[in-house]
Structure 1
Amino acid sequence: MVEQRWELADEDATHAFGVRVADALDGGIVIYLHGELGAGKTSFARALLRALGVGERIKSPTYSLVEGYQAKGRPAWHLDLYRIADPGELEWLGLDALSDQDAVVLVEWPERGKGALPASDLVLELAYSGAGRSAALRPNTVRGQQLLARLR
């Protein structure tokens, strides 16, 4: 499946990209967020959730591992699995809610939850690029392909 790439000059551009992806959503989606520490994964997630109408404070799930919200009448979940050593540690989190087809699920460090997470519709790779960042979106499902088509 074809990947799309963007150059993000600064944090404002990362925020705008998150809003643009949110505007292209028409239902639930699972997005895996990859990138080094500080690459913009949490900034992207916050911008997307805010654009979906989350009015409350959007906290980083670094210590809680998962934060849940309501976004335009549907569940939204933001996970940060950086501190997970083994996917078995996720059993007690009650991740069954993540399989809701209407949910928006954003997962930072998804490789640490392998086997315990729903499959991704999209993979977002954020990387340092000069003074800014680069973003690459790769679809894994028809839902992911449809979202990318709407971003064009």
Structure 2
Amino acid sequence: MTPIKVYLDNELDTVELGQRIAAIITPPLILNLSGELGAGKTTFSRGLIQAFGHKGTVKSPTYALVEPYELCGVDLYHFDLYRLSDPEELEFMGIRDYFTEKSICIVEWPDRGHGLIPEADISCHIKYVDESREVEITSGSEKGQLLLSKFK
């Protein structure tokens, strides 16, 4: 499947993209988010998590590594691996226990957990283009391909 490219002009566009992705995904699912610092990974996550019914703020779990949400019968886990110094730290926190049949795992900075994070179903790479952003969305599994075929 050819990557999907989406252009975002502002923060609202980024939140709306997260909401659009939320509308097509179901557990079990792994969604990787990559891009430079400040590119909009957590803003995207906020749109997705709030679309599942979370009413509060969505903060980046940079220091905790993971922020859990129980929403609509879905275990949603938001990981931020930016500050991870050694992927072995993920073993100590029981990383494998998060990837279940009823979980959706959003993983920011997935390359930092190389070898311990399962292959993503959907990956979004956000990059700066002048003052805007370009998001390239790809699938890494059959499920990811099927879900992205529903993306409008």
Structure-2 residue corresponding to 1:91: 91
1: CA distance between counterparts of 2:26 and 2:84? 31
SS across alignment from 1:120: coil
4+ aligned runs moved over 4 Å, structure 1 = none
2: CA distance between counterparts of 1:29 and 1:71? 15
RMSD value, Cα = 1.2
1: CA distance between counterparts of 2:111 and 2:101? 21
Contact 2:42/2:59 (8 A) holds in 1: no
Cα deviation code 1:78-106 (max 9, x no counterpart): 00101112211111212123221221100
Larger helix proportion, structure 1 or 2?
1
Q: How many residues are aligned here?
A: 152
Structure-1 residue corresponding to 2:80: 80
Q: For structure 1, which segment, 24-33 or 99-108, has the greater mean C-alpha deviation from structure 2 after superposition?
A: 24-33
Structure-2 residue corresponding to 1:100: 100
SS across alignment from 2:23: helix
Q: TM-score, normalised by structure 2?
A: 0.94
Identity level (%): 38
Structure-2 residue corresponding to 1:29: 29
Q: 1:147 offset after TM fit, Å?
A: 1.6
Structure-2 residue corresponding to 1:20: 20
Contact 1:66/1:77 (8 A) holds in 2: yes
For structure 1, list consecutive stretches of 5 or more residues without a partner in the other structure.
none
Q: Partner letter of residue 16 of structure 1?
A: E
1: CA distance between counterparts of 2:66 and 2:95? 9
For structure 2, list consecutive stretches of 5 or more residues without a partner in the other structure.
none
Q: 1:131 offset after TM fit, Å?
A: 1.3
